[in-house]
Amino acid sequence: MNTRKTILTTAAAMFLLSPAAFACTGITVKSTDGATIAARTMDWSGAENNSMYTIVPRGHAQQSLLPNGEMDGLSFISLYGYVGLAVQQPEFVIDGTNEAGLSAALFYFPNYGEYEPYNENDQDISLADFQVVSWILSRFSSIDQVKSAINNVRIINVDPSAATVHWRITEPSGRQVVMEIVDGRPNFYENEIGVLTNSPGFPWHMTNLNNYVNLHPGGAGPTKFGPITLRAFGSGAGFLGLPGDFTPPSRFVRAAFLQTYSLPPSNAYNAMQQAFQILDNVNVPLGVQFAVGRAPNDMPAATQWTIATDLQNMRIYYHTMYNRTIRSIDMHDIDFVAVPFQYHPLDTVKRQTITPVQID
């Protein structure tokens, strides 16, 4: 096995086997003028990711990694160019958008998904789960096209003992689906609320929202309580009981309520800003996922980067744990016929940009 294949296998196993990997939160913010912003955090507390953005031109050829470490699985050539944020290797795109406006992203999904076992007879149609986003963005312009093609491939783990992931796919119109593979079969769920976290499965999270039927925006009380009157200590008491921990169910509920009841933004730019503000409420401080003194590193945060994609204007925005200054990639500036395949680190300097205030 050559060095390149060894690196790919090791990187895939490191992410998929870690119990702390990819505790991410996704939301979808829509503006009143019709724009759709697909946004998410990328949370991983095990180690610092080698995170990068990658630009893939039309005609770029890729091949899937297999459990034996060879890149001899499904081969596919890009019909559409795309831009994605990847971890460890440019092949492992976590979240991206193609030139047709289709967005795809993966989220950690341990213990509840189940792929078909790898079969050597299906080598040429076997696709590693960490390369599904690249396959979707390379080949398709709509959700229905993905649904029609998914049974022609076999999505596999690079390591059979590794955890599974599930996927979010979004069109510029705002239509979004969640794809989960359970018992070896792909299931698609229309995601009208536009929120996604991790385990359990998406239908369970939607049912769980009913446990919070009492929550509402605004105030609560005053309420007569026998001989006394109960009064809220401050504004926002209607959300008393909104879960504040970092488990996937709690992050799903928190993101869903904050997204739903935030003031509707008027345009794509305002929706992008709002997406970052909402996701600040689910950012994971480093260490809270571990017992005291057991955090494995000294990174600034477990939320390593946050992305918000404007599917109307084809702009990708992101900030990182090192630098929360928002950076943007305008896909209209990219000629996907002529641009070479390339990838670059998300941070050229791992330090927060600070602008001094000039005092006259």
CB 277 within 8 A of CB 265: no
**Arithmetic mean of pLDDT over the chain:** 93
- Is the pLDDT confidence value at 297 over 90? no
SS3 257: helix
CA 316-319-321 angle, to 5 degrees, is: 150
* Confidence at residue 81, expressed as pLDDT on a 0 to 100 scale: 98
State pTM to two decimals: 0.93
Burial (CB < 10 A; 0-12, 13-18, 19+), residue 73, is buried
* Confidence at residue 12, expressed as pLDDT on a 0 to 100 scale: 55
pLDDT, mean of residues 160-179: 95
What do you get for the CA distance between the two ends of the chain, in Å?
Answer: 64
- Is the pLDDT confidence value at 306 over 60? yes
Alpha helices, DSSP H only, in the chain?
A: 3-17, 132-139, 143-149, 202-208, 248-261, 268-279
Separation CA 35–CA 170 (nearest Å): 12
Q: Within a 10 A sphere around the Cβ of 219, how many other Cβ atoms? A: 14
Burial (CB < 10 A; 0-12, 13-18, 19+), residue 147, is middle
pLDDT, mean of residues 184-206: 97
* Confidence at residue 8, expressed as pLDDT on a 0 to 100 scale: 53
Give residue-wise pLDDT tens across range 94-142.
999 999 999 999 999 999 999 999 999 999 999 999 999 999 999 999 9
* Confidence at residue 49, expressed as pLDDT on a 0 to 100 scale: 87
DSSP assignment letter at 196:
B
- Is the pLDDT confidence value at 62 over 80? yes
In the numeric block, which tokens belong to residue 54?
Answer: 């990658």
Separation CA 163–CA 147 (nearest Å): 23
pLDDT, mean of residues 176-196: 97
pLDDT, mean of residues 249-261: 97
- Is the pLDDT confidence value at 238 over 60? yes
* Confidence at residue 5, expressed as pLDDT on a 0 to 100 scale: 53
Share of the chain above pLDDT 70, in %: 94
